[in-house]
Chain A
């Protein structure tokens, strides 16, 4: 790094919110021409650090130097003028709907206080083309409405616009969260190019594989403190260790098919959708079964059928030896089929409610007599599962919003593990969940799946390899392969998932 020019230094940055110290004495240096990533578990203080760097908090402690000069940011405008540009996670927030591609590219020219009163279409177009050329976006139709281009093209426009201001530091916050893998690949190529041109990039992402692939250096924030600085060659295990400390190695399960197991769920020639082939699946007690497949492979449809959301076309669902038919979710739950849906914010969390209320929601009848709730029993049950799952919170009465994403997910998983069940289906349970919480949930499932079973649906191989006993591959609504996890070959699995 010696040959590279030091652009920005953040020294001993601290920030407190009320009584909690969100950040204490964190320092990082940013050099020209490198991609620097900051990682940290949810709630570690990562976003607080970034916000300070972007001028959102005026009352921080510590010093920020730009080109050796001490600066003090009072507002986002200050940071912007000092050459710090942020591309936020939400693409929709970065563009103006109802405007054309050209207008979005040359937005500064249109909305700046110095903009001329008369809208000069030619000038705007000229400027837009200039900005587009930096990112090889000339191919875009400048007159097109911004809504008619792809997510990644929108993102490229936002980045191009940021670059047009010739920033000292370009911050990218979770840029791959709403674009496809292929688009992400294109984004990385662009980033390499910018890096080689001397732009300093600060990259933030949940995906450690991405971090390892593209970063020159990685800075770690852990519990609000400096957690380490890693140089190439980067190893994911090293990054994780710096983020969350030594993790207990995953609970060792001795999975043996010969154990006295009971058939819990059997699908006999179950046809989920009109065109799909019949499914035959057997799941035994004590098993954690993974179901993997691409989006559209039919995983969600299967889960919805099991949970009573949709009705099968034909075939049988046999639960605990009895053939069952559900016409609604309530009946599925009565039969001991529980489901943690994907996307907790949309499908699971009841905002502005306590952790307790969020946990007991499906089982209020159990906690009430003649409709009157027994708060005592509710509290007892919630406390137990909060402890067992290691949900980090100020108590059962804390609002769900006060938790980190990972802990929110634990609450939702706890909701469905609270009561006795035959099988619990988890649909993409680790979306937006930090690695520590992921491990906690996995460990809880592994230790507590005895008389019941778990069906875990995911499109991430590594997640499933971590937790499950058995993996099934779904491809075009058909189970094409199934094997004990210990015998699974990752590459083979990958080819099965994607085969045409």
Chain B
């Protein structure tokens, strides 16, 4: 019995995942087609990248609630730069990333130096950014040919190269955002698993004081975790802008919760009980696959959040509930 529980904790999640993969394909053969596989992956890239970002802050026992809104403001800023200011798309990318780094740095300083609890600091930041993103365009979405405040038409447009980031395909098959997601995931997995920085981040999450007494500049590492979270969120924002091809003011909705849910589901993968890159990726793929498969089996769209909730709660039971509690 004990062995069974241990096995279930370690592999249960992956088995359920493989089972649903098989099940969907058997019920609906087109589920297994390459085009559907990539459509699933394309659907999850933005949330997946954000989940990787939030993983860093979860590892140091923190939290970043501002990831979704950081991505959203980057959608707005890159659209604004290209459409309204009519400047080269490179600046749209650079400015977005710079903004992501700045937001992360401010979050980190608020938490580490001003000692504001992580949830509160990033909640405040989330609000601030959500408001800020509306200001340049006076609350309107930004699209090619939009009417500006002075009555003239915006002259700029989304650069082709920029749109390629969101809509292009490599070899006419693999969507570019999927490639970006895969590359980021591999780099982050490697950093967390095989470098001293990853080791120290996890150690800080385990016992911050002990790491400090081992001579590590803990504050710097914690700030770095938030900077990475902000930076990665801005990359997600750029891809999102490129994908939808306009600066939609509502584009950030739902990103935060989906990303956090994926990262938390990731705790259950291989029973590691910790935030981890592989888990976050698997978590987000699992949700994407489930929603895709269920939609093919004509599940109504409005049940999607309910399904995600069930998966999250089940994964949390796997992670925390099944492990033995000592008296």
Contacts and interface: CB of A to CB of B under 8 A. Distances in A.
Nearest to B190: A372
Contact of A346 (B203, B209, B217): B209
Nearest to B204: A350
B135 interface: no
A332 interface: yes
A365 B196 contact: yes
A336 interface: no
B203 A350 contact: yes
B207 A349 contact: yes
Given A18-B2, A368-B195, A349 B210 contact: yes
B210 A347 contact: yes
Interface string B182-215: 0000000000001111011011001101111111
B260 to A, nearest CB: 21
Interface in A324-375: 328-330, 332-333, 339, 341, 346-353, 357, 361-362, 364-365, 367-368, 371-373
B210 to A, nearest CB: 5
Given A329-B215, A357-B203, A373 B210 contact: no
Contacts of A18: 2
B209 A347 contact: yes
A56 interface: yes
Contact of B210 (A333, A350, A365, A372): A350
A353 B273 CA distance: 12
Contacts of A349: 207, 210
A213 interface: no
Nearest to B191: A371
Contact of A329 (B206, B213, B327): B213
Contacts of B216: 330, 362
Given A351-B206, A353-B206, A372 B215 contact: no
A358 to B, nearest CB: 9
Nearest to B197: A371
Contacts, number: 67
B246 interface: no
B195 A371 contact: yes
Nearest to B195: A371
A348 B215 CA distance: 12
A329 B212 contact: yes
Interface string A70-109: 0000000000000000000000000000000000000000
Interface residues of B, number: 23
A347 B213 CA distance: 7
A51 interface: yes
Contacts of A56: 327
A414 to B, nearest CB: 13
A361 B214 contact: yes
Contacts of A347: 209-210, 213
A258 to B, nearest CB: 36
Contacts of A352: 206, 273-274
Contacts of B327: 51, 56
B273 A361 contact: no
Given A18-B2, A352-B274, A371 B213 contact: no
Nearest to A400: B206
B200 A364 contact: yes
Contact of A351 (B197, B207, B215): B207
A373 B215 contact: no
Contacts of B197: 371
Contact of A367 (B196, B210, B211): B196
B212 A371 contact: no
Contacts of B211: 350, 361
B196 A371 contact: yes
Contacts of A361: 199, 203, 210-211, 214
Interface of A: 18, 51, 56, 328-330, 332-333, 339, 341, 346-353, 357, 361-362, 364-365, 367-368, 371-373, 415
14 contacts: A328-B215, A330-B215, A330-B216, A332-B215, A341-B213, A348-B207, A349-B210, A350-B210, A362-B215, A364-B199, A367-B196, A368-B196, A372-B196, A373-B199
